Amino acid sequence: MQPALKLKPGRGRQLKRLRAMYDQGEWPRLRRRAQSVLLAEAGYETQEIAEITRQSCWTVRRWMHRFTAGGCEGLWEGLRSGRPPTSHLRSNCFWEKPW
């Protein structure tokens, strides 16, 4: 078993922002990352956080490291490689019709 990852004590503003990201976040992935950091701040170990959030220990540790390196900004998703998302003409027509 890997040792628990120790986070630096959270500052007031960062913890408030994390709580807001978790409580009011529109993006489920970002909410899960904020939840992971908040659980770590509360004293949970990596394995426990992984079980609660249904993520692997590696994923939890990766997000903890990103938080320690970049703060709350480090939890946002970066650019993804691959083809940009497109929508089809039919779906555009569907969304434009008034009901």
Residue 43 in domain: yes
What confidence tier does 9 reach under pLDDT thresholds 50, 70, 90?
low
Residue 53 in domain: yes
Residue 93 in domain: no
Q: What are the structure tokens assigned to 9, written together?
A: 């004590």
Report the mean per-residue pLDDT for the chain: 79
Residue 89 in domain: no
Going from the C-alpha of 47 to that of each of 5, 13, 27, 50, 98, the distances in angstroms are: 10, 27, 24, 5, 49
User: What is the C-alpha end-to-end distance of the chain, expressed in Å?
Assistant: 56
User: Is the pLDDT assigned to residue 59 strictly greater than 80?
Assistant: yes
Looking at the structure of the chain, the number of domains it has is 1
Rounded percentage of the chain residues whose pLDDT exceeds 70: 72
Domain that holds residue 49: 12-75
User: Structure pTM?
Assistant: 0.69
Residue 96 in domain: no
For 64-98, how does the pLDDT look when each residue is reduced to its tens digit (9 = 90+)?
999 888 888 888 877 667 777 666 655 555 555 55
